[in-house]
Amino acid sequence: MNVLEVKKKLFSKKTKREKSELVTDATVTAKKKKTRKRVIIIIVIAAVLLLLFLGLRSCGTATGNMSGTATTYSAAQVEKQDITVKLSGSGTLQAADSYEVTSLTAGEILSADFKEGDIVEKDAILYQIDTNDAETSIKSAELSLQRSQLSYNNILKTIANLSVKAPAAGTITEINVKVGDTVQTGSKIGTVRNSASVTLRVPFNSTDVDSFYVGESAAVTLDSTFETLNGTVTKINNTEQVLTGNMLVKYVTIEVTNPGGITDLTSATATIDGLACNSSAAFDYISSETITAKASGTVSSIIASEGDHVEKNSVVVNLTSDDIDENVASAKLSLEDAQNNLENKQEALEDYTIRSPIAGTIITKTYKAGDKLDSTSAKTALCKIYDLSYLTMELSVDELDISKVSVGQKVSITADAVEGKTFTGEVTKVNISGTTTNGVTAYPVTVKIPDTEDLLPGMNVSAEIVVKSVKNVLAVPVDAISRGNKILVCKDASKLQTAAGESLATDKSGIPVGFEYVQVTLGVNNDEYIEVTSGLKEGDTIAVLHIIDTISDMYQQMSQGEQGGSPPEGEGGQGRGPSGG
């Protein structure tokens, strides 16, 4: 190979490399141009949107809109229809009542004659627990109460003894104490004597006495004055006694009414049925007894003075005793404590028979016969009962709507779990205790569903409360109402040339041509229609406002145009890499 050929080959390689570099540079330049075009397109779109926004803002005052929206009007006819105002919400169904049965006692379960799914009545026996320990405890409490009662009774007797009483009827002959004196049990307080009658006990010959009898009249002669008094035989002693001279005698007791001067120092003789006694004797009082203190204490008052006549068991002197008062108070507390203890144990015995607190259906049964209950069982449900006679749910109603809700309103209820069925409920309670979250207050409303069919507790349901309903009233779309309760009404039908579904032509002020504002009176409304009670008549043509977000619509159209249009120049059908050569 000569030098010229070598140079040609080198030149040929150099030329290929230069061509390759030229192609690469051209590709990079094309990519830069494409990127530049995209940036320019984005800038143009942004500029157009900005101009449109500014233009809409500049003309927004004519349409009453400053937020990049446009307003149009369409024609509608005033018609009569029904309007129903509803409040909607959702909640979870609950049983009419539910109860978890627990035990207050420990012991072995002797019986539990029910199963899950059973329907039980209120107060039906569910569980019977062994009562042996409880009955033993009750017997012990009864004995304790008896002991406390005896102790209290004895203390009360001590209190009664603080009132010192006369042991017999008669005249107080002496009082041996004064107010403030301290006396002990057994101390002599005074003497009471019955001197209205006196007795004479005299001996008669034994053979004479055999003809005497109790109640027989006797003549009594006073030794001092030889005065004779009438008496009566009250007692005959049939025991013979021997007197001086070996005389056999029997003693006879004669009672005589005291004329006033007879004492126990006066003596007399007696004759019965003409038979005289063997010797005289001194009179005795019917009774002469010592008044004795039966308790220790301090004399607080003297009720009967010397010379006063008193009846048997009448109070003569009163005593006080701090010790006795304290003992009484303590005994009374002990007695009350024993009574309460017994009552508590008797009441606790009822806890060993566990009854159904409500009528309902057994949902779960955790414990059965033979199981043992301990102190921890009180925290565990033995069984659970649901009252399924009806279901309830709770709706949360906004503070702006709660005034529309009242007890008795009907509620329509649907559940995803029960397709194709609508259930009817009723508002039973409107709770005025609301809950505030983020500055908004909601109030709980309770709904009762009496006809449950396939509904079950725990299901999620939707509810609508019919707060108000009117029939066959003039109604217009809510969007037809302007500020101040005014509606645009067609006054010149000749200018109403808009085809159905098209927007109404507007004048320079933005009001549809041929329309004027009319003041109306409004009634109830829902989300779509509102009642007109005055100002319109059926068949009137009105203008309904429509607001269009022009910027969003235009941006969406331009975006769709960019994505669906032809690709930028230089991109369609061109190769991306260098061509082989």
In this structure, the strands spanning 383-398 and 94-101 are antiparallel
pLDDT band at 155 (very low <50, low <70, confident <90, very high): confident
Q: What percent of the chain has pLDDT over 90?
A: 63
Residue 248 has pLDDT above 70, yes or no: yes
Name which residue leads in pLDDT, 329 or 377. 329
pLDDT band at 448 (very low <50, low <70, confident <90, very high): very high
The residue among 407, 481, 420 whose CA lies nearest residue 447 is 407
The pLDDT score that the predictor gives to residue 462 is 95
pLDDT band at 580 (very low <50, low <70, confident <90, very high): very low
The pLDDT score that the predictor gives to residue 570 is 36
Tokens, residue 116 = 């899950």
The pLDDT score that the predictor gives to residue 49 is 59
The pLDDT score that the predictor gives to residue 63 is 43
The pLDDT score that the predictor gives to residue 337 is 95
The pLDDT score that the predictor gives to residue 497 is 62
Q: For residues 540 and 489, what is the distance between their CA atoms, to the nearest angstrom?
A: 7
The pLDDT score that the predictor gives to residue 572 is 37
Across the chain, what does the average pLDDT equal? 84
**Do 367 and 116 meet the contact criterion of CB atoms below 8 Å apart?**
no
The pLDDT score that the predictor gives to residue 577 is 36
The pLDDT score that the predictor gives to residue 159 is 85
As a CATH number, domain 71-83+473-548 is: 2.40.420.20
Residue 46 has pLDDT above 70, yes or no: no
pLDDT band at 552 (very low <50, low <70, confident <90, very high): low
Residue 222 has pLDDT above 50, yes or no: yes
The pLDDT score that the predictor gives to residue 51 is 59
pLDDT band at 554 (very low <50, low <70, confident <90, very high): low
**pLDDT by residue (tens digit) across 82-103?**
998 889 999 999 999 999 999 9
**Do 185 and 294 meet the contact criterion of CB atoms below 8 Å apart?**
yes
Residue 22 has pLDDT above 50, yes or no: no
Mean pLDDT of all residues in 127-155 = 93
State how far the alpha carbon of 113 is from the alpha carbons of 125, 128, 469, in Å.
8, 9, 52
pLDDT band at 408 (very low <50, low <70, confident <90, very high): very high
pLDDT band at 71 (very low <50, low <70, confident <90, very high): confident
| 3-class SS string, 492-535 | CHHHCCCCCCCCCCECCCCCECCEEEEECEEEEECCCEEEEEEC
The pLDDT score that the predictor gives to residue 37 is 61
Residue 576 has pLDDT above 90, yes or no: no
* CATH tag for 85-95+389-470 (out of 2.40.50.100, 2.40.30.170, 2.10.60.10, 3.50.30.60): 2.40.30.170
Residue 12 has pLDDT above 90, yes or no: no
Measured at the CA of 225, the angle between CA 220 and CA 228, to 5 degrees, comes to 25
Q: What percent of the chain has pLDDT over 70?
A: 81
Mean pLDDT of all residues in 451-468 = 91
Residue 326 has pLDDT above 90, yes or no: no
Domain boundaries, the chain: 71-83+473-548, 85-95+389-470, 164-317
Residue 149 has pLDDT above 60, yes or no: yes
Rounded to 5, what percent of the chain is helix, strand, coil? Answer: 25, 40, 30
**Do 393 and 450 meet the contact criterion of CB atoms below 8 Å apart?**
no
Residue 34 has pLDDT above 90, yes or no: no
**pLDDT by residue (tens digit) across 485-494?**
999 999 988 8
Q: For residues 391 and 368, what is the distance between their CA atoms, to the nearest angstrom?
A: 29
Residue 268 has pLDDT above 90, yes or no: yes
Highest mean pLDDT of the ranges 44-53, 277-286, 541-550, 566-575? 277-286
Query: 3-state DSSP call for residue 540?
Result: coil
Range 308-313, long-range pairs (CB < 8 A, 24+ positions): 308/171, 308/172, 309/169, 309/170, 309/171, 309/172, 310/166, 310/169, 310/170, 310/171, 310/172, 310/192, 311/166, 311/169, 312/166, 312/167, 312/168, 312/169, 313/165, 313/166
pLDDT band at 473 (very low <50, low <70, confident <90, very high): very high
Mean pLDDT of all residues in 68-73 = 76
Q: What is the pTM for the complete model shown?
A: 0.49
The pLDDT score that the predictor gives to residue 42 is 67
Mean pLDDT of all residues in 493-508 = 75
Residue 288 has pLDDT above 90, yes or no: no
Residue 498 has pLDDT above 90, yes or no: no
The pLDDT score that the predictor gives to residue 19 is 39
